[in-house]
Homo-oligomer: A and B are copies of this chain.
Amino acid sequence: MIYFDHAASSFPKPKAVADAMYEAVTQYAANPGRGGHVLAERARLTVEEARAKLAALFGAPQPKHVWFYQNATMALNQALFGFQFEEGDHVVTTAFEHNSVLRPLERLKREKGINVTYVKPNEEDEITAQALMEACTAKTKMLALSHASNVTGAFIQIDQLASFAKENEITVLLDASQTAGTLPIHMEKDGIDLLAFAGHKSLLGPQGTGVLISREDYGLLPLVVGGTGSYSELPVQPDVWPDRYEAGTLNTPGIAGLAAGVDEIVKKGIATIYEHEQELLTLFIEETEQIAGLRHYGPADLAKRVAVASFYLEGIGSHELAIILDEHYQIAVRAGLHCAPQTHRVLETSNSGLVRVSFGPYNTKEEVKTLVRALKEIQQAFV
């Protein structure tokens, strides 16, 4: 089996991820922070170590600014629904958003009367910092941005927005689900206020993990309230971080697995991972460009993309092609709209959908070549 669906979930995971989870479940599956005994303490330490690792990796001020959720969607919902928008407030976002940003924003439009501008890509399928700044008005309170499109891999030069956003008191919310673990991200240097990402994609952690990091205090209201193991006598969430934003029992095994994934990323080095994936992307694009009827989307300048490529092969529906690749060639890719309807509207691929391939740190050039050969065979069989 060749796995090219890393943009949905990375696979395989480092063995250390599964081992860390196994250890958590078999050795100390107690409730962190909710009892003083030795097992609860070990669970607490595991969670706090993971917090510290993530804070260090992403340039967050302190571990307590790192909050754990079940997925990036919930982290984004906490950021967007927690933000105290008022009627008439303006949000600038992109046409490349995943439904995890799009659907909360559309709800905020309906329920809170905010206005949203969806910035479209230029002719090279790229969304520029310039275009984003131009879309801002005096009422703009937030830039809510996918760091990279999950369809084309095109990423935003986020650091170019930093001083503009600061001067204009615009909160920058970055959805780094497609980039955390592949692109260097530093909240302080890049001017990111709120950083949300999935643990189970390029960070190589397990599903069931998502993270929101809040650089400063933006007055977010907790999305979920309940037990925190602290200040139990209060009828409201305590103010102390991270407790305020983490009601209920945490996913200790998942968080232990995520920490092991982060260790692997740090060991390999993000730059090395990026270069490796970039080589695979380059190889794939170069080798498939000559295939008749195959059309690529996204910036031609691959330096502007992470290792995600979506394409259309004339004469074959995208789902059909994905099924052939899966059943006939044991190659896992992903077809359809990729939970990003606007992206496909902008690319004019809503009807057909696209086939997406996305590369990970353990993929090899040989695997890419196998995919290229498969696509050539399929193309010939269908002509």
Contact = CB atoms under 8 A, between A and B. Distances in A.
Interface of A: 1, 3, 5, 8-13, 15, 17-18, 21-22, 25-26, 28-31, 34-40, 69-74, 76-77, 98-104, 106-107, 198, 200, 206-208, 210, 223-229, 232-237, 247-254, 257, 319, 322-323, 325-326, 330-341, 350
Contacts of A22: 18, 21-22
Contacts of A207: 29, 31, 249-254
A5 B31 CA distance: 9
A70 B336 contact: no
A233 B332 contact: no
Contacts of A338: 232
Contact of A37 (B206, B224, B235, B322): B322
Contacts of A251: 70-71, 206-208, 251, 254
A378 B72 CA distance: 48
Contacts of A74: 70, 224, 247-248
A201 to B, nearest CB: 9
Contacts of A234: 341
Given A206-B25, A232-B337, A237 B37 contact: no
Contact of A99 (B1, B5, B21, B232): B232
Contacts of A1: 38-39
Contact of A13 (B26, B227, B228): B26
A228 B69 CA distance: 17
B206 A35 contact: no
Given A8-B30, A208-B252, A99 B13 contact: no
A226 B21 contact: no
A227 B98 contact: yes
Nearest to A337: B232
A30 B18 contact: no
B323 A36 contact: yes
A292 B211 CA distance: 50
B248 A73 contact: yes
A237 to B, nearest CB: 6
Contact of A98 (B25, B206, B226, B334): B226
Given A233-B350, A336-B232, A208 B208 contact: yes
A103 B248 contact: no
B13 A25 contact: yes
A223 B236 CA distance: 19
18 contacts: A8-B40, A18-B22, A35-B333, A36-B326, A37-B322, A39-B332, A73-B226, A73-B227, A74-B247, A77-B224, A99-B247, A103-B247, A206-B251, A208-B250, A210-B249, A234-B341, A251-B251, A253-B257
A112 to B, nearest CB: 14
Contact of A247 (B100, B322, B335, B341): B100
B225 A223 contact: no
Given A29-B207, A228-B339, 6 more contacts: A38-B330, A71-B248, A71-B250, A73-B248, A98-B227, A253-B253
